[in-house]
Chain A
Amino acid sequence: MKLGLVIDLDTCVGCHACAVACKQWNTSGTSGPLSDYDPYGSKPSGVWFNRIRHYEVDDYPNNKTINAPMSCMHCEDAACVTVCPTGASYKRPEDGIVLIDQDKCMGCNYCSWACPYGARELDQESGTMKKCTLCVDRIYDENLPESERQPVCVLTCPSHARFFGDFDDPDSEVSKQVRQRSGYSMMPEQGYNPTNKYLPPRQQPAVETHKPRQVSREEHAAEDKPMAQIQRWIAQQLKRQA
């Protein structure tokens, strides 16, 4: 199994729901609490597994706004794992989820240096590195209804811009989306082979325009164009009548 997320940049409105849902679930989840520092002061900050950034592509007036949610990509060649000296960081062979064993981490930050995607954040209070767990504490929880065994960011996304599934299964929703919509990886040249994929904004759908009416020469020349037009309609409705 190769579990991960697909994020559709065509429908993501950048609402931050997934980011807050992630914070909410995970602060009481397997690697919680996710500490918040100076929460009511001048520099509020804290540990998040998922952050939404907003970009603009091209210049006004051809600009397009892109909202880009980013969490751990559960890379196949995850250097964050190989560089970890304690072995706290690991990739689960059975499903590819990259995790941090909170009991083993020594808080050296090294893995966060190795991650190109900013997916790892140190929790100053516990002294350990934390990151997206792909909601491992939900997706296998048989006490939850089947439909809820999903990452919370996926469950909560109001514009259904997030999909979760097994990329090894060609028939899974994620595989299909990636195939049909030319899903791509961010910063592929880093060579990490991220599992998570992004769907680019679709091409603008072509809508035909109704052909503008050909205006007759007389009509065009008419002093009072509205009246000419209305007279035409009156004539038409009488004709229809006849």
Chain B
Amino acid sequence: MHPAISVICFTLFSGAGYGLISFLCLDDMFDLNFTLSGSGRVWLVGVALVLITVGLLASTLHLANPRNAWRAFFRFRTSWLSREGVFAVLLYPVALFWLLTLWSSDAGGSKILAALTFCLAIATLFSTGMIYACLKTIRQWNTALTPTNYILLGFMLGSLILVASGAGNVTIAVGMVGAAALGKLIYYYWIGQPAGPTINSALGFTRATVRLLDVGHGEGNFLTDEFGYEVAKAKLIWLRVISIVFGFLMPVALLLIFGASAGIPAMVSGFSGVFVERWLFFAEARHVVNLYHGSQST
């Protein structure tokens, strides 16, 4: 799949924002005292909302006809994209009310609003994951690991932001990074297994080798641009290493060695690693339409 920067930014920033806000909600709900002070907490909720908003705005850049973006809430019944939109939008008033209660009282906000915000953040993250996971056409996405990883990566980034802001808990952050890394490794193992349709079943000729002779259009078109994205194997491996090193190994190492004082570099490293991971999530996804363009399998 063609990795669109707008979509990568969306999942990266919004993901981090939802992860962050989720921690803040939990903090409020269960008085975990991640944050130093009420104002710090308010400030962090603000950061989370900004991240979410930046991400959502980035995602609209992806639309070829944004004038109709408002219609995206209408197919809640069947579309994860619609659901994500609805949850994302619903979160704002709830989160703002919660923020209001947080801001107005030093002791903490409305636990109910915090719980609601938390649920909406999780639902949005889950929906985002499901946008990809529900597509049978892309084997590398069509798995429960996709929403799981979305949530884990969001939480991981959220926890790193917390640590970087001088709050949070290094142990939790290291745990989150570990969990996300584990999820990702399982994912990589899983997509490495051969499976899914082949050029034979795509065309219905299952008893002999099938090869593409001519694709029927001389230069590229929408389908090849959108789905035909291909990265050299060596480059993929190299990028995986980068994403694992920067996304997981480095933050863990920094936090374990330098503790909370390495929060900022750990966060920056985490973000850049996950950026590459997001990019790979698209670049490594092989849409079945490629079978018609000559791929033997996906």
Given A106-B71, A128-B65; A51-B79 close (CB under 8 Å): no
| B202 / chain A contacts, CB cutoff of 8 Å | 186-187
Question: Is A30's beta carbon under 8 Å from chain B?
Answer: no
Contact-size category for B: 35 or more
With A86-B68, A106-B72 as contacts: A58 and B208 at CB distance below 8 Å: yes
Contact of A58 with B204 in the complex, beta carbons under 8 Å: no
- CB within 8 A of A55: which of B64, B81, B82, B203? B203
- Docked-complex contact A108 and B292, CB < 8 angstroms: no
Q: Are B216 and A53 in contact (CB under 8 A)?
A: yes
Partner of A83, one of B62, B79, B216: B79
What's the Cα separation between A220 and B13 when bound, in Å? 90
Contacts of A118 in B (CB 8 A): 223, 227, 289, 292
A114 CB → nearest B CB, Å = 6
A33, CB-defined interface residue at 8 Å = no
Q: Does A12 contact B (CB under 8 A)?
A: no
Distance in angstroms from B267 CB to nearest chain A CB is: 31
CB-CB under 8 A from B214, the residues of chain A are 53-54
List residues of A (143-179) whose CB comes within 8 Å of B's CBs: none
Contact with A along B170-212 (1 / 0, CB 8 A): 0000000000000000000000000001000111110011111
> What's the least CB distance linking A86 to chain B, in Å?
4
Query: Which of B69, B137, B293 interacts with A190 by CB under 8 Å?
Result: B137
* Known contacts A113-B287, A126-B65, A127-B65, A88 near B216 by CB under 8 Å: no
Which residues of chain B in 72-87 are interfacial with respect to chain A, using CB atoms and an 8 Å cutoff?
A: 72-75, 78-82, 85
Q: Which of B106-114, B128-136, B143-151 makes up part of the contact surface?
A: B128-136
Given A55-B210, A198-B204, A121-B216 contact (CB < 8 Å): no
- Name the interface residues of B205-234: CB closer than 8 Å to any CB of A: 205, 208-223, 226-227
Q: Please, which residues of chain B bring their CB within 8 A of the CB of A85?
A: 71-75, 79, 81-82, 85
User: Contact flags (1/0) for A178-193 with B, using CB distance below 8 Å?
Assistant: 0000001111111110
| A79:B65 contact, CB within 8 angstroms | no
Residue among A44, A53, A109 making CB contact with B292, cutoff 8 Å: A53
Q: CA of A28 to CA of B20 in the docked complex: distance in angstroms?
A: 51
Q: A55-B210, A86-B72 are in contact. Are A79 and B136 (CB under 8 A)?
A: yes
A-chain residues with CB within 8 Å of residue B211 when the two chains form the complex: 55-56
Interface residue? A232 (CB, 8 A): no
Q: How long is the Cα–Cα vector from A114 to B132 in the complex, in angstroms?
A: 9
**At the interface with chain B, which of A65-73, A134-142, A210-218, A233-241?**
A65-73
Residues 122-137 of A at the B interface (beta carbon under 8 Å): 122, 124, 126-128
In the complex where A55-B203, A82-B79, A198-B204 touch, is A106 in contact with B67 (Cβ < 8 A)? yes
Which residue of chain A is the closest to B65 with respect to CB atoms?
A127
Question: 3 smallest A-B Cβ distances: which pairs?
Answer: A107-B64, A127-B65, A127-B64
Q: A66-B205, A113-B138, A113-B287 are in contact. List 14 more A-B contacts (CB 8 A).
A: A42-B219, A53-B212, A83-B131, A84-B75, A85-B73, A105-B68, A106-B72, A107-B63, A107-B66, A109-B226, A116-B136, A128-B65, A187-B288, A190-B197
The interface of chain B, by Cβ under 8 A from chain A, is: 1, 62-69, 71-75, 78-82, 85, 131, 134-138, 197, 201-205, 208-223, 226-227, 287-289, 291-293
16 contacts between A and B (CB under 8 A): A16-B216, A45-B220, A46-B221, A54-B214, A55-B213, A79-B136, A104-B71, A106-B72, A107-B65, A108-B72, A113-B135, A115-B137, A118-B223, A121-B223, A198-B204, A200-B204
